Amino acid sequence: MPDRIDASFDGVRNAPALAELCADLLARQRESWPALRDGYAALDDARIREIAADGYSVKLQFNPRRMVSSGAAVDPESIRRRKCFLCSENLPKEQMRILYRGAYLILCNPAPIFPRHFTVASRRHLPQAIESDLAVFLTLAEDFGPGWSVFYNGPGCGASAPDHLHFQAAPAGIMPVENEIGEEINRIPVGRVGEAAVLASNGLGRPLIIVEGSGQKDVMSALRTVVAALRNGSASPDEPMMNLLCSHDGMHWRVLLFPRRRHRPEAYYRDGDDRVLISPGAVDMAGLIVTVVEKDFHAVGAEQVERIFREVSMDGARFDGLVSALPDRLRQQAGAEAAASEAG
């Protein structure tokens, strides 16, 4: 089936803004696509409970509609046996799309976590891996503009379609860490590449790296340096386990990178009432933890949140080693780029 293109965005000046096009798409799809309408009706009924942990907070969202994602089988054999639900030919016939810069399709997410929730899927069936498309990720955040966040789940830590490259977009400010990370007490300077600053989190219950800057080239270079450091010492050629969250305030990018070591916490694999069906992705790591079983929504407290973060995040010793190694790596990268600029 050919792409059902509702609108196109290519960044041309004076054209409708991307956020405006997406709002129009969502309004029309809620009228014409029953599954999406049902998804937002379920979100309207979703409940929220706030938990104060040690130095940070999280929100639990009870959203049973997300069971398909939280319980998704993402092992290679299961992926091989099912049709890719992000490939254009397999999308529901009712699902309209915005063509984004000729290479991606913006889709309304039929199981939303946010009041406006979009999936941005490559038109090509490529594995979920961000490094070759970091520029797209940053540009997408800039195109959505202030008031929006764009996020990425690595193939082994939250992506329910690890076989198809995609991002997601939602309104900013709903995930607690977006506000907490702006407080100076939660930030430790690490180094710079040009105009891009790299910082580490402090006391938020899970480690993260922050990259901020006004120049896309410097922000991308700093991110690549961080990812290379994450890969250091690993024999695997695969992308390091990580989730990313990106926003653009009209002048500066802010990227939050959550280094991971496990897809799901130990409690996810228990039997019976001891099982806790929480499968953390970028949204959960950012402090909006989605629960799909009502008992989990009521039972999970600060201690269990801290345990989940501790089990799925990079361990403290390795994170300390990463932070210690980054200043030299960033200086080397900055020096190499300065030399290349002079030579050019």
Asked if 297 and 187 count as a contact pair (C-beta separation under 8 A), the reply is: no
Question: CA torsion sign, 90 to 26 to 68 to 121?
Answer: positive
pLDDT, one tens digit per residue, over 58-76 is 999 999 988 766 666 667 7
Asked if 222 and 198 count as a contact pair (C-beta separation under 8 A), the reply is: yes
Q: What is the pLDDT of residue 335?
A: 86
Whether pLDDT at 2 is above 80: no
Asked if 322 and 241 count as a contact pair (C-beta separation under 8 A), the reply is: no
What average pLDDT does the segment 68-91 reach? 81
Tell me the residue length of the chain: 344
1 pLDDT tier (thresholds 50, 70, 90):
very low
pLDDT, one tens digit per residue, over 221-279 is 999 999 999 998 665 678 999 999 999 999 999 999 999 999 999 999 999 999 999 99
The dihedrals phi and psi of 27, each to the nearest 5 degrees, come to -60, -45
Question: Mean pLDDT for the chain?
Answer: 93
Burial of 279 (0-12, 13-18, 19+ CB in 10 A): buried
Count of C-beta atoms within a 10 Å radius of residue 249: 15
Whether pLDDT at 338 is above 80: no
Please enumerate in sequence order all residues whose Cβ is within 8 A of that of 11, keeping only pairs 6 or more positions apart, or say none: 101, 139, 143
- Residue ranges with strand state E in the chain: 5-9, 47-52, 57-62, 97-100, 104-108, 118-122, 148-153, 166-171, 187-193, 196-201, 209-213, 242-248, 253-259, 288-291
Q: Which residue has the higher pLDDT, 150 or 81?
A: 150
Q: Which amino acid is at 140?
A: L
Q: Tell me which residue range forms the domain holding 288.
A: 5-343
Asked if 117 and 90 count as a contact pair (C-beta separation under 8 A), the reply is: no
How far is Cα 66 from Cα 50, in angstroms, rounded to an integer?
19
| Helices vs strands, H then E, count in the chain | 11, 14
Q: What is the pLDDT of residue 233?
A: 62
pLDDT, one tens digit per residue, over 282-291 is 999 999 999 9
CATH (domain of 127): 3.30.428.70
pLDDT, one tens digit per residue, over 290-324 is 999 999 999 999 999 999 999 999 999 999 999 99
Whether pLDDT at 212 is above 90: yes
- How many structural domains does the chain have? 1
Strand 288-291 to 104-108 pairing = unpaired
Whether pLDDT at 218 is above 50: yes
| pTM of the predicted model as reported, rounded to 2 decimal places | 0.94
Residues pairing with 248 in the sheet: 253
Q: What is the pLDDT of residue 339?
A: 80
| Percentage of the residues of the chain whose pLDDT score is greater than 90 | 85
pLDDT, one tens digit per residue, over 101-155 is 999 999 999 999 999 999 999 999 999 999 999 999 999 999 999 999 999 999 9
Q: What is the pLDDT of residue 71?
A: 63
